[in-house]
């Protein structure tokens, strides 16, 4: 049969794979539809970093592996998930179209599912920031729900592409909310798994002192479950090991979770208020959880988020200085004035003021924070907050032009007041997910975040599936697409 654009958009990734398996469409037909949608989305949103149609056609001709996503089009973020056939820029002119001598372990596992990768999505330089406005792409990436708003970052291109229906699921990564922020801003599901649940090898031992991890942005919970089942597992030689799963993500969503003890706060963790729309989203989700029989109570941990983010800023600044130094050393040429954006240059300047002892002190601060937050979960199964403290920001508000990296990240007009919730779980390593359960009066998606104990990814995924069934979101699409 001939699949229409409407048919393509009406299925999640597992649904498209089922059509291929039944002979109702082909991988070639799906790729053609995805490429057409990518062209349309790129013209409006600037969400595609590059298209690599050749490797995708070759993979189809060779016969994609008969995995759970056989024949389904897929996009990688332009950062991480290194692959021979898909050069990456990391959002930077300095790294423009870096080629890789071998595939990362993560990409090998994704390819084995039968996914047909055909390009990369946009990201901010070095993955730093809650917006995707890197100069290497010629302009900002826009939110399909409102072209004047950001889709988020750093997996902003992935969020925009999935929301626009280019692909039903896409790769992302999350070192301070970079999967959950764009998923929230774009009305999608995004889960940051427990630290070390997914492999970093062989190109990285850890990202940002163990705070960064790969992930996925999807329209359905079951797609995320299947992707995580396929991608998770041992990372030989990796510095961290996640607790083993009991059954797996797909098995976890086959039945509702037990009734849980859920804490929530409708403000920030320091007690400060958040935007009324975000507060309304949390209160609405708390009522929904209670209606499903969960025990819900208002409570918040006693933790120093501002101190954490000060430490986070030092670690990320040092990480930025490292990848810039490594790139310049590899090419045998110093940095040119126009190769980095002001925020990245500011990060390098900040790193130059930090000693090795300062860096280790920041790492210890992150570890202390993680232990304090873990203590809050004693006697509780889950914690509900807003994903963001405000609706999606306007384009340009967090453009990477501030040369003062600390001010950009944690100043009074910086990122911390806008995104105070997501990074805490990068510090603790706990699983956390954003769910699109609420839209405001302007029609903008407002995500809510739920986290569970370290290693308890399956409970989180099961709860997400229960909420998806109670408040379905799959049919909500941006008016432009």
Residues catalogued as catalytic: 77, 154, 178
Question: Between the CA of residue 249 and those of 188, 252, 325, 335, 425, what are the distances in Å?
Answer: 18, 5, 39, 44, 19
Report whether the peptide linkage leading into residue 154 is cis, meaning its omega lies within 30 degrees of zero: yes
> Given strand 382-386, what is the order of strands in its sheet?
48-51, 116-121, 73-77, 169-174, 213-218, 189-192, 432-439, 445-452, 382-386, 261-264, 295-298
**SS3 string of 123-134?**
CCHHHCCCCCCC
| Inter-residue contact 141 to 122 (CB < 8 Å) | yes
| Residue whose entry in the numeric block shows the structure tokens 């199964």 | 381
Question: Between the CA of residue 261 and those of 221, 246, 271, 374, 425, what are the distances in Å?
Answer: 22, 20, 21, 15, 19
Judge residue 219's burial from the number of C-beta atoms within 10 Å of its C-beta, 0-12 exposed, 13-18 middle, 19 or more buried.
buried
Determine the distance from the C-alpha atom of residue 61 to the mean position of all C-alpha atoms in its chain, rounded to a whole number.
31
How far apart are the C-alpha atoms of 57 and 98, rounded to whole Å? 22
């Amino acid at each position: 049969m001939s699949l229409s654009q409407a048919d393509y958009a009406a299925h999640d990734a597992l649904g498209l794979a089922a059509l291929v398996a039944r002979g109702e469409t082909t991988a070639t037909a799906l790729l053609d539809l995805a490429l057409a949608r990518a062209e349309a989305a790129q013209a409006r949103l600037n969400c595609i970093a590059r298209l690599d149609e050749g490797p995708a056609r070759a993979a189809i001709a060779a016969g994609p592996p008969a995995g759970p996503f056989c024949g389904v089009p897929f996009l990688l973020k332009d950062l991480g998930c290194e692959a021979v056939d898909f050069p990456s820029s990391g959002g930077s002119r300095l790294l423009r179209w870096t080629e890789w001598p071998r595939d990362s372990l993560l990409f090998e596992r994704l390819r084995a599912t039968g996914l047909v990768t055909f390009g990369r999505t946009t990201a901010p330089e070095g993955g730093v920031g809650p917006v995707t406005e890197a100069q290497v792409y010629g302009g900002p990436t826009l939110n399909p729900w409102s072209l004047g708003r950001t889709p988020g970052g750093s997996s902003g291109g992935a969020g925009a592409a999935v929301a626009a229906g280019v692909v039903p699921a896409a790769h992302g990564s999350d070192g301070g909310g970079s999967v959950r922020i764009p998923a929230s801003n774009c009305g999608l599901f995004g889960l940051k798994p427990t630290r070390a649940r997914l492999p970093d090898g062989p190109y990285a031992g850890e990202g940002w002192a163990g705070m960064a991890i790969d992930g996925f942005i999807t329209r359905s919970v079951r797609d995320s479950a299947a992707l995580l089942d396929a991608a998770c597992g041992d990372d030989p030689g990796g510095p961290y090991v996640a607790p083993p799963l009991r059954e797996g993500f797909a098995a976890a969503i086959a039945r509702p979770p037990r009734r849980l003890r859920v804490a929530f706060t409708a403000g920030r963790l320091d007690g400060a208020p958040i935007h009324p729309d975000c507060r309304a989203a949390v209160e609405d989700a708390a009522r929904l959880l209670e209606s499903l029989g969960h025990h819900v109570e208002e409570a918040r941990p006693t933790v120093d988020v501002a101190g954490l983010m000060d430490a986070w800023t030092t670690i990320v600044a040092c990480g930025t200085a490292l990848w810039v130094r490594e790139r310049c050393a590899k090419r045998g040429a110093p940095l040119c004035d126009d190769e980095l954006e002001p925020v990245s240059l500011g990060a390098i300047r900040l790193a130059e003021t930090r000693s090795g002892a300062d860096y280790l002190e920041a790492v210890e601060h992150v570890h202390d924070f993680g232990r304090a937050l873990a203590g809050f979960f004693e006697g509780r199964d889950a914690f509900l907050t807003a994903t963001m403290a405000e609706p999606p920001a306007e384009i340009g508000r967090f453009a990477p032009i501030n040369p003062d990296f600390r001010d950009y990240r944690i100043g009074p007009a910086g990122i911390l007041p806008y995104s105070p919730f997501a990074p805490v779980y990068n510090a603790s390593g706990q699983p956390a997910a954003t769910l699109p359960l609420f839209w405001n009066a302007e029609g903008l998606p407002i995500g809510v975040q739920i986290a569970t104990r370290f290693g308890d990814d399956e409970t989180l995924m099961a709860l997400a599936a229960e909420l998806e069934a109670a408040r379905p979101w799959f049919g909500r699409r941006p008016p432009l697409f």
